[in-house]
Structure 1
Amino acid sequence: MKAAEQYVQLCGRVGNLSRSLTGVSIVDAYFGPPSLAPEKQAERTEPESILQDIGSLIDIVKGSIRNELRREYLLGEIGSLQTVVEWLSGADISYGQLVKRLFSIDMKAYPESVIDQQMQRVSEAFAVFPGADVRDRVDRFMTTGELRGEPLRYLIEGELQDKVSEVGRLFKERVFSKIGGRIRDNGVRYKAVTDKPWGGYNYYLGGFKSMNEFNVDHPMNREVSLSVIYHEYEHHVNNLCRERAYLKNRYAELSVVPLHTGRSVISEGTADSAKEFLGIADESPTATAMEVLSTLRRMVSINAAIMMNDRGLGIEDVAPYIAERGLRTADSAKATTDFFKPKTDDGRVNIWAPYVFTYHVGKTDFVMPTFDKAVERGLLADFFKVLYLNPFSGSSVTWNIAFDWL
């Protein structure tokens, strides 16, 4: 069996292990041969056996894959899977080491002076909205367009479903047209769900189609919901191009989409950059306010995750910090910790605990600096070609290699 096929099987084994221990598989999508599908792999494999096979696979990849970008991509992904197995099987790995080994990025808190600067930007952006002070203005802004219950479900399964067609058209006109060749797109369906730790999620189903789920356990601001469409649709586009590359080149490793690897950093970074990719420069007060507030809350969430997972502080200490610095209500601040707290309510390891870094770091440290350079040099089409036609570029491990020509 070739190295790439062994890698696909490994993803399935690690995914089944993570599901058994946390309730969540690290395999986010699969559209390859049925014989290699995650469900065909061992439901519960001992970690020691998986780790032994990982060691052997690393040697095989080093000795058999000649293409540098493909080889480094695979080695990075395998190293992350090794870390997942060690972490979930109880190895003594600090939070900082976990973030570094999973995502090939450093765990760094944002200095409070930087948070202060971003809060000032929020204060300036919200000055045009009614309220006694910035906190009151943010609260009013978020609650004015807040929906819950059936109106929220209708927004997701009705209005958002209609809006997604427009976003798809923009990608065809402003991205696909630049990279050449036809990108097949069978669309995205929207669904309201409950009992999830996230607000929205793109499930790629294979066959060039996706399901976007939105969590309706908590009220949702209408404007925020509409803006999230761009993020989730870019995930869809990324996977469309990945499946296209798999079918064209038959690199088996492209048929599986794992979480908690260097791929996640670039995936979330490009999704958070979707509006920039599409050239949507909405300078309205509402759009500006949402953008600066979102950036603030991304930064505050990273700091809060470090407080909980690295410093060992509890929700009773961290939630007030999130409320104060992220300009959230007490209930919203507490709910935010569900995504990155060390343990779930049933006492299992929270598989999402380190993932909070991928969004902001992916966008600000990797994607946007490269994108801006490409725009400045008139090489945007070349940027999109590398990003979307060569999926091996889409990892924090390979990003700088793939774009060294810039």
Structure 2
Amino acid sequence: MKKTLLYCLAIGLWSCSTGTTDQTNSALPMDELAERYVKTVLQLGQYNSDVVDAYYGPEEWKPTTTPLDTLPAYALLNELSAIQQELAKQDTAGLNEMDKRRILMLQKQVLATATKIELMDGRKLSFDEEAKLLYDAQPPHQQQAYYDSLLQEIDSMLPGKGTVADRWANYRAKFEIPKSKLDTVFQAAIQEARKRTLAHYKLPKNENFKVEFVTDKPWSGYNYYKGNGYSLIQINTDFPIYMERAIDLACHEGYPGHHVFNALLEQELVNKRGWKEFSVYPLFSPQSLIAEGSANYGIEVAFPEQERIQFEKEVLFPLAGLNAAEADRYYTLLEKIGKLNFAGNEAARMYLDGKISREQAADWIVKYNFYEKDKALQRTQFIDRYRSYVINYNLGQQLVRQHIEMHGGTADNPEKRWELFGELLSKPNTASTLK
């Protein structure tokens, strides 16, 4: 029966219980459906701490009962099916674009939540099936030969002897930020990113953030949005942090990335429009592809290539006590290596689909993403925990870039790029609607 419910949710046959589609009765108000959806997501979050990434809605909507010993999958799926059934009844004739977006976005978020319940309840999906249902996106495939050709190109650019990964590690060591300088460098990077963002966007007056350095995490950085314009940003120091990561993390986790994305959604959709479904952020949902993709693309929005290199040479390198003489060459290599990013998705796909072992997945990540072996094994722990979520970073960035540039937000038109990027962050968007 559970499989039938998810099937119905996926293909749009919302009246699963009767096998018919009844759209003759008027639909329930969207605000009522939003409340039911939020409460369902919060209830699901009691069984998996990763499900609810952020919540800043009414306190009384939080669950007040003790979670059951086992996940009430059938009851939760039935509720989501009922919500989806009501969403299908909504009369879209005469609605403006934003209201239509609202309905479509909630439909896709409901489907993703149902999929997550199924996965938590033991259902097996392939990597690609899971990604499509959770994130509304179709992951691309690349042959191994493609990545091998990129390796050959990078091989010719690196000094020394040995594997490409070893030579890159040796070369990169000179760009490691000393731990004693991390806070100073990161604070300078995030304050500059904030200044550049505030020059284009009006954020809540009280927006703010706190930075913490932590260890023993499966990720390199995380933004915990607390609501009311406030974020806790954590940076993992288990492994070396290199110069480029200062701006990467400052923008991705802060400005104009996750912190700004969440603040604008809260300001524009929750506070101004009263769309309470956006007061909860379910991590395993289409919202995450936009969140991660925009956070990565936002780096180049805030710091176009030459401006970034100049700022790092003049400000961050001196603060870190590092020599900036090789900065240009370093960033040329980073650009080439960045093209290998999707190789990590292939490792996750093969590993989660049971085609390779954890050890083989780590070896693939060492070879094509130049991770040290212990960090590559840590990356497999991230894959275990977050699964197909990995597509959101690179595929999300690709889709966001294509959307912005298609509408005129190219590198030679930075003001238009900021404008379109701000619109993207302030409206309901999902992968299939980015056109």
TM-score (normalised: structure 1): 0.83
SS at match of 1:218: coil
Alignment equivalent of 2:405, drawn from 360, 372, 375: 372
Residue 399 in structure 1 maps to residue 434 in structure 2: yes
Residue 259 in structure 1 maps to residue 283 in structure 2: yes
Give the letter for the 1:358 counterpart: N
Alignment equivalent of 2:253, drawn from 223, 232, 238: 232
Alignment equivalent of 2:394, drawn from 360, 373, 392: 360
Root-mean-square deviation over aligned CA pairs = 2.4
- 1:262-277 pair list within 5 angstroms: 262-277=286-301
Q: Is the 8 A contact 2:186 2:250 kept in 1?
A: yes
Residue 219 in structure 1 maps to residue 254 in structure 2: no
Residue 3 in structure 1 maps to residue 33 in structure 2: yes
Give the letter for the 2:192 counterpart: E
Q: 1:397 to 1:155 in 2, by over 3 A?
A: farther
Distance in 1, matches of 2:203 and 2:374, equals 46
Report the alpha carbon displacement of residue 55 of structure 1 after superposing the two structures with TM.
Answer: 0.6
Aligned to 1:199: 220
Q: Deviations over 1:174-214 (max 9, x none)?
A: x31xxxx5544522211011221111111111110111111
Aligned to 1:62: 88
Give the letter for the 2:401 counterpart: M
Report the alpha carbon displacement of residue 158 of structure 1 after superposing the two structures with TM.
Answer: 3.6
SS at match of 1:91: coil
Give the letter for the 1:386 counterpart: E
Report the alpha carbon displacement of residue 161 of structure 1 after superposing the two structures with TM.
Answer: 2.5
Distance in 1, matches of 2:203 and 2:44, equals 34
Residue 138 in structure 1 maps to residue 171 in structure 2: no
Give the letter for the 2:400 counterpart: V
Q: Is the 8 A contact 1:265 1:358 kept in 2?
A: yes
Q: Is the 8 A contact 1:224 1:290 kept in 2?
A: no
Q: 1:162 to 1:187 in 2, by over 3 A?
A: farther
Distance in 1, matches of 2:105 and 2:90, equals 14
What fraction of aligned residue pairs are identical, expressed as a percent? 24
SS at match of 1:106: coil
Q: Is the 8 A contact 1:340 1:353 kept in 2?
A: yes
Q: Deviations over 1:245-280 (max 9, x none)?
A: 111111111111111111111111111101222252
SS at match of 1:249: coil
Distance in 2, matches of 1:155 and 1:257, equals 33
Distance in 1, matches of 2:182 and 2:209, equals 12
Aligned to 1:30: 55
SS at match of 1:51: helix
Give the letter for the 1:372 counterpart: E
Aligned to 2:337: 293
Q: 1:206 to 1:197 in 2, by over 3 A?
A: same
Distance in 2, matches of 1:263 and 1:65, equals 24
Alignment equivalent of 1:383, drawn from 408, 420, 428: 420
Aligned to 2:44: 14
SS at match of 1:43: coil
SS at match of 2:259: helix
Give the letter for the 2:276 counterpart: A
Q: 1:299 to 1:182 in 2, by over 3 A?
A: closer
Greater C-alpha Rg: 2
Q: Is the 8 A contact 2:204 2:229 kept in 1?
A: no
Report the alpha carbon displacement of residue 385 of structure 1 after superposing the two structures with TM.
Answer: 4.6
Distance in 2, matches of 1:221 and 1:380, equals 28
Q: Deviations over 1:344-373 (max 9, x none)?
A: xxxxxx3x0111111111111x11111122
SS at match of 2:225: strand
Report the alpha carbon displacement of residue 132 of structure 1 after superposing the two structures with TM.
Answer: 3.5
Distance in 2, matches of 1:215 and 1:184, equals 29
Aligned residue pair count: 369
TM-score (normalised: structure 2): 0.78
Q: 1:40 to 1:399 in 2, by over 3 A?
A: farther
SS at match of 1:217: coil
Alignment equivalent of 2:267, drawn from 216, 236, 244: 244
Q: Is the 8 A contact 2:112 2:285 kept in 1?
A: yes
SS at match of 2:342: helix
Give unpaired runs (5+ residues) of structure 2.
1-30, 93-98, 310-327
Distance in 1, matches of 2:266 and 2:91, equals 21
Distance in 2, matches of 1:33 and 1:58, equals 22
Aligned to 2:5: none
Residue 118 in structure 1 maps to residue 160 in structure 2: no
Residue 159 in structure 1 maps to residue 202 in structure 2: no
Distance in 2, matches of 1:31 and 1:155, equals 34
Distance in 1, matches of 2:66 and 2:369, equals 43
Q: Is the 8 A contact 1:13 1:42 kept in 2?
A: no
